[in-house]
Every structure is written in C-alpha cells, then in structure tokens.
Structure 1
C-alpha cells in the first residue's frame, strides 16, 4: 500500500560536534549515578544527555513527571548533588516542569503508544519511558538511532528487542525502524500506512520512499 506523506517538516540539520561531545559528557556523568549493569541506563543517559546538550528537555519525549521518576529510579542524586557536568539538568529541569511537554502530533503519538503497549514485553519496568521517548522521537527528521544519541541502528534493534520483541519479529523486510514503527502504528489501528511525521525532512527520505520522488 502506497505511503501517505505527512505535512512538510524542516529538513534535517546535523547537531554541531560540540553539542554531541557535550551530550556524551552528560551521559557519562548520569551513568555515574546509575545502578551497575542496568540494561537501559545507557539508553536513557544518551537521550537525556542529547536533550540537555541541545537545551531542550522536551526533546526527550518524557513529561516532567516521567523524567523525575526516571531520574529517581535510575540516576538517583543526579537532580541534586554538585556534579558540574550535570548543572544543565539542575538548571533546565525547573523551567521544564513549569512549561511541560508539548505534543505537536497527538494523534500520531497516540497511535504509537497503542502499538508499543500492545507489543511490550512483560518484564522491564522501564518500558513506559521507552514508549514515551520513541513516540516523540518519530516526530523529528533524523535517523532514529542518531536522534536518540545512540551509536547505530543495532542499538535501536537491541532496545526494541528487549522491550517489544514481538514487534521486532514482524520487521521481516528489515525496514528502517522509524519507517517500520510508523507503518505498523497505522496498520495496527486499521489505517492506511504513512510515513512518520519526521520522515519527510530526513536526509535519506528518497531512499526510504523512492516511489514518492
């Protein structure tokens, strides 16, 4: 079934190198507060670090209450303490609590949440936060792994396999994850498939959707 494109979004602009370096420093500082060998700590540290480095905690996709709960669970002490690397978290969090998380595409993020909840694994107690992050990450015009601050597609595959293994098993054509998740969300709801809101602005849009060139 032919994809239906969403309204135009700004094209992808790579993050400056200094922003990426700062995101990594923040992520490493967060991990100093994490329990040892937690399978999701690196993922959440990367997401929060990337968001802080770009001065936008809403970019994480986590509402203020979710971010507070996650920090208390995985990074206790990160919102307090005196680690200078984490000063951005302490400075940005109060303003984020005041303004909250805005959702420019509530219809799409709801479809994503319904899909991910339908396939969530019974074990991990952090899955609800992964769902929030993924639903909002698909709104932006970048490859999913890079948008999340990860090292590559294989990191996204491992994350999805841990939290939504049945969904990963359905990607038999090895579609890129953002495309696959968006298609699956609409298909799960009985709707025609369509690209994720962020896909049109991606540098590889023509690769994923050659029929629309």
Structure 2
C-alpha cells in the first residue's frame, strides 16, 4: 500500500504542476492520479467518451501520459445503471455553469456511482471532504440540500427517488457496503 500511495502522490504532483490552478483541476489531478494507480472504481476513459477524455487530458494535463484504459481493469457497465440519465440530469439541474469542464465532472461522478464503495473512494479522491468541496463548488444548491451529512452516493440516489415520489430507496451498492447501517456521518 505505501508504494501505491507514493506512486499516486508523485503522479498527482506532476499532474497538478501541469494543471491550471482552479479547484476542479486539483480534484481532477487527484482523480486521474488515483485512477492511473488503479485506486479507483472508474472505468476506461474515466467514464467519459473517448473524445471527451482526450480533450480533458490534452487541456488540463498536456504532456502527461495518461492511459485510456482503466489500469484497475474495470470496464464500464452502464447497462446496470438504468438511472444514468437521471443522475446526469440531476447534476445538470444544479450545475453552476454547463461547460466542457463541468460536463466532464458530471460524467465522472456518474461513472463513480457504478462503484461499490463510498463515492469519494470510487472516484479516487483522497477524502470525503474533497468530494464535499467538489460538489459544493460545482453544484452548490444540491450540496446545500445535504444538510444532515448523508453519504454522497446515498444522497444522490435519495434525490432521484424523491423526484419520483419514492421515499424508500437504496443506493446501488448498499448490499455490499460495510457501513450499511450508517447512512449519515463521516466516511473517513
């Protein structure tokens, strides 16, 4: 594990030095560094379309060799994610601005929802606080609704259920989550 941590931190430093200094670039550098080290649940192309992925890497991390296929071997399986469009629409609804960067963030978050752990871990972020900050920066109205500190993946799915008038909803990975009985509070 220490070697994985060292590799991830070295790559993060390199990616961050290439990135424009804004909050999303820092979070994207964490996500890409973790993904390259095989420490996330993101599929090929970070869950983006190939053209989006290449544009993202070329714009934010020029000169960095970022693989297209998930080093973890995870392949996208959006067929089990019937709610994919609903998640995209939810995030778009609360988006501050619909830009290329924001569109990529939305796609990456939705792809992270395919994972079976906490969303911050599935994305390859290094803490739940980073995810909270990223969501607050990109989707402030949505983040403000999570005023009881519900786990983020559970919270997103709860928002979908409430929009449909359903109030008993399970996140897609609760049955394998070690914290099944704890829907609220810290995840660290």
**TM-score normalised by structure 1 residue count:** 0.72
Give, in angstroms, the shift of residue 57 of structure 1: 5.0
Instruction: Give the equivalent residue in structure 1 for 2:119.
Output: 144
Change (3 A) 1:190 1:199: same
Distance in 2 between residues matched to 1:110 and 1:133, nearest whole Å: 13
Distance in 2 between residues matched to 1:168 and 1:207, nearest whole Å: 19
Give ranges in structure 1 of 5+ residues lacking alignment: 1-15, 80-88
Change (3 A) 1:18 1:63: farther
Change (3 A) 1:167 1:33: same
State the structure with more CA Rg. Answer: 1
SS where residue 7 of structure 2 aligns?
helix
SS where residue 205 of structure 1 aligns?
coil
For 1:1-213, list aligned pairs within 5 A: 16-35=1-20, 37-54=21-38, 58=44, 60-79=46-65, 89=66, 92-93=67-68, 101-122=76-97, 125-191=100-166, 193-208=168-183
SS where residue 174 of structure 1 aligns?
coil
Q: Provide the aligned length of Structure 1 versus Structure 2.
A: 178
Give ranges in structure 2 of 5+ residues lacking alignment: none
Give, in angstroms, the shift of residue 192 of structure 1: 5.1
Question: Larger relative contact order (C-alpha < 8 A, sep ≥ 6)?
Answer: 1
Change (3 A) 1:191 1:61: farther
Change (3 A) 1:148 1:162: same
Q: CA RMSD in A?
A: 2.6
